[in-house]
Amino acid sequence: MDAVLAIAITLPVVELHAPKPEEGDLAAAYLKLAPEYAAYGLSVILIGLYWIHSHFSGKLLEKTDHGYNLLSIGFLAAVSITPFPARPLVEHFAGDTQSSTAAL
């Protein structure tokens, strides 16, 4: 499971791109990409928390069964989808008309 979580925590960085400054204003270009960087940060934090939880729950169990393994697949599916809802949540964080949908 650790290998899958390690891959999941690195995937959000694929969505990050270097800014293309318009008329040489690099600071403004970075500021324009702030939601993408915030979504990346949120994804890493959430996946990291899932990773910590998986280590804790693994220490509680001496052995697993088929049901636990199936639950682990569901857990990994939830972890892998984390970057998808993080972006709209960050983009609509300011409280516009779509913020409640993004939060849901």
Q: Residue 3: what pLDDT?
A: 78
Q: How much is the average pLDDT of 58-72?
A: 77
Q: CA of 61: how far to CAs of 11, 53, 68, 73, 94, in Å?
A: 29, 13, 10, 17, 42
Residue 2 has pLDDT above 80, yes or no: no
Q: What are the tens digits of pLDDT across the range 73-84?
A: 888 887 777 777
How distant, in Å, are the alpha carbons of 3, 62, 73, 79 from that of 46? Answer: 16, 26, 17, 8
| pLDDT for residue 104 | 66
The whole-angstrom separation of Cα 2 and Cα 8 is 10
* Residue bearing the bigger pLDDT, 43 or 93: 43
Express each pLDDT in 19-41 by its tens digit: 777 767 788 888 888 888 888 88
pTM flag (> 0.75):
no
Looking at the structure of the chain, the number of domains it has is 1
Contacts of 29 (CB under 8 A, 6+ apart): 19, 20, 21, 22
Q: Residue 81's domain spans which residues? A: 2-103
Q: Is the Cβ–Cβ distance between 4 and 76 less than 8 Å?
A: yes
Helix, strand, coil percentages (3-state) for the chain, rounded to 5, are 75, 0, 25
